[in-house]
Amino acid sequence: QVQLVESGGGLVQPGGSLRLSCVPSGNIFSFTAVGWYRQTPGKQRELVASITNSGINYANPVKGRFTISTDKGTNAVYLLMTSLKPEDTAVYYCYARNRYFSDFWGQGTQVTVSS
């Protein structure tokens, strides 16, 4: 069973930045897709950003502000969030899909944007 360990959430003021990290228990480059989703109470989990064999994809609300990346050395996927807004407040989940189309999720990390 693949485990995804997230870190980096917290409280930040509007306009600030945070970087989320996610380290899987397997080689990150063995997955066909990795990414980040977020969820707020009463709403469905929504895609924030992903890296697949087809390229990088961002949700419209975060384009130009968030950057997803992977690092071979640390075997991690990162989400750099800048110019944060109160509406970015959510629980953020790391996600990975393997070549057998099995999906794996992290435990979630809270991001709160508030003054």
Q: What is the per-residue pLDDT across 36-79, written as a single tens digit (0 to 9) for each?
A: 999 999 999 999 999 999 999 999 999 999 999 999 899 999 99
Residue 94 pLDDT class (50, 70, 90 cuts): very high
What pLDDT does residue 38 have? 98
What pLDDT does residue 28 have? 85
The tokens of 109 are what? 């990390």
CB 113 within 8 A of CB 86: yes
pLDDT above 90: residue 23: yes
How many CB atoms sit inside 10 A of residue 15's CB?
11
Among 43, 44, 34, which Cα is nearest to 6's?
34
